[in-house]
Structures are given as C-alpha cells and as structure tokens.
C-alpha cells in the first residue's frame, strides 16, 4: 500500500488523532472486498483494568485496542471478503516514530511481523493539531504522503 492509496482515509485518521488528543488514538485501516479502504477507530483502553494484563501504560503514552471492537471489525471485514490493511496509532506531542514497544508489539516478540502483509502507521498529533505519518521499516511501509495530496492537517517525514 502506498501513501497515495492511503489518501482517502488520512483525513479520518487525522481527525481521530485530534479528537482523542492528548491520549493516543488507535484504529484499523480495512480494505473491503472491492479494495476500498476505510478507517475504523477502535477505543484505546490503555490504563484501564481491562488492559492491565497487556500493558502498564496509560492512554497518554500507550495504546491497547478494545479487544471486542477489534475482533468485531476484523470479523466484519473478513465476512465481506476484505482484509486488515493497516494498524494505526498516534503519538501525542512527539514524532511519528516507532518506539521499541511499538516494534516489539508489531513483531510479536519474534523477527517477523505478527500480522504479515499488514502495515503499521503512526501519526504524531501535536497540540496545534498537526499530524505526521510514519510506518515501521521492514513491514512494507505505507510510504511518504505527497504534499499536494495530504489533508492540510498532515506534516511530512521528508
């Protein structure tokens, strides 16, 4: 998937990142059976009792997707002949980079991605409302969004 292919969902991703600020947002980019992409926000339950066994982080410095919403979204897209295309989360007030924890979660403790063929996208959301996309190296990154195609709220890696 290229940055150009992600353009139709970038405005929704950026809006979700701004709406959850200063907490991290998270969600999925799903490809329907016809290939059309859509962004599905998933509640970040980090810092709650439900997430305690998965992470000690809070919503401000980490994310844990609500497992019921995650499974429901995946079941729906698969039933329609579609697939998971990307996993998205934000980093409030810091850059669009992959932390050690992000990388460990994406690789599931091994050397290969936990979700082969799925891209990982991080959006940096600043207090001023800017967002900056990035993707994990070695996981078929989404690419750099073109300046003339990105919503005005996006900033660029290069």
Asked whether residue 96 carries a pLDDT value surpassing 60, the answer given is yes
Please list the residues that pair with 132 across neighbouring strands: 124
0.85 cut: is pTM over it?
no
Q: pLDDT tens digits, residue range 38-85?
A: 999 999 999 999 988 888 888 998 899 999 999 999 999 999 999 999
How, if at all, do strands 26-31 and 83-92 pair?
antiparallel
Task: Please tell me the predicted confidence (pLDDT) of residue 149.
Answer: 32
What integer pLDDT is reported at residue 137 of this predicted model?
A: 39
* Those residues with Cβ within 8 angstroms of residue 47's Cβ, 6 or more apart along the chain or in another chain: 57, 58, 59, 60, 62
| pLDDT (mean) for 28-32 | 96
- Contact criterion met (CB below 8 Å) for 70 and 28: yes
What stretches of 30-66 show up as alpha helix (H) in DSSP? none
pLDDT digits (tens, 9 = 90+) for 111-152: 888 888 888 888 888 876 545 555 443 333 333 332 233 333
Residues 123, 156: Cα–Cα separation, whole Å: 10
Average the pLDDT over 72-100 and give the result.
Answer: 91
Question: What mean pLDDT do residues 96-100 have?
Answer: 81
Q: Residue 22 — pLDDT band, cuts 50, 70, 90?
A: very high
Who's near 75: CB < 8 A, 6+ residues apart?
none
Q: What is the pLDDT of residue 4?
A: 77
């Amino acid at each position: 998937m290229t940055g150009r292919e992600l353009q139709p969902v970038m405005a929704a991703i950026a809006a979700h990142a701004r709406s959850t600020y200063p907490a991290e947002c998270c969600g999925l980019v799903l490809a329907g059976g016809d290939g059309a992409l859509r962004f599905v926000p998933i509640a970040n339950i980090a810092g709650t009792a439900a997430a305690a066994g998965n992470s000690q982080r809070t919503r401000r410095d980490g994310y844990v997707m609500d497992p019921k919403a995650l499974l429901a979204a995946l079941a729906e897209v698969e039933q329609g002949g579609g697939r998971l295309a990307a996993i998205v989360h934000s980093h409030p007030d810091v850059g669009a980079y992959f932390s050690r924890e992000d990388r460990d979660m994406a690789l599931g403790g091994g050397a290969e991605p936990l979700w082969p063929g799925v891209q990982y996208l991080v959006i940096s959301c600043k207090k001023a409302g800017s967002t900056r996309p990035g993707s994990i190296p070695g996981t078929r990154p989404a690419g750099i969004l073109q300046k003339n195609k990105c919503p005005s709220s996006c900033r660029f890696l290069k």
